[in-house]
Amino acid sequence: MDKIYMNQLAFYGYHGVFDEEKKLGQRFIVDLVLHLDLAQAGQTDHLDDTINYGEVYEKVKQILEGQPCKLVESVAERVAADLLNTFDLLQMCTVKIIKPDPPIPGHYQSVAVEIMRVRK
């Protein structure tokens, strides 16, 4: 299956378990892999035969900057479900939500969750 990659989409949201996350917010980075057949788009050169990246970005932005969740696992599920419900050509998606600055002690680059969901 063909893939569209959208990497390092950056947002500011208020997701988290801790009070400071809910009050102050934090950065979130999203990586997406969209699985679909791109043969028709490659032959016709028409946007209608693929998925519009701008529309995907806006969908993800609404979720990441919208209603807070306690867990990034829930955020990832919302993103995957919304993309699969919105884009008929999408067969499967991988959603990775990265928290570069979670309020936990220690030295690390980031923490993240990644899920893969398939159209039912």
Distance CA 38, CA 36 (A): 6
The kind and range of the H/E element at 17 are: none
DSSP at 47? G
Question: Longest C-alpha distance within the chain, in Å?
Answer: 52
Residue type, 44: T
Candidates 119, 6, 2; CA nearest to 53 is 6
Q: Which of 3, 23, 61, 99 is catalytic?
A: 99
Secondary structure of 97-115 as H, E, C letters: EEECCCCCCCCCCCEEEEE
Rounded to a whole number of angstroms, the distance between the first and last alpha carbons of the chain is 16
* Residue 59 annotated in active site: no
Catalytically annotated residues: 99
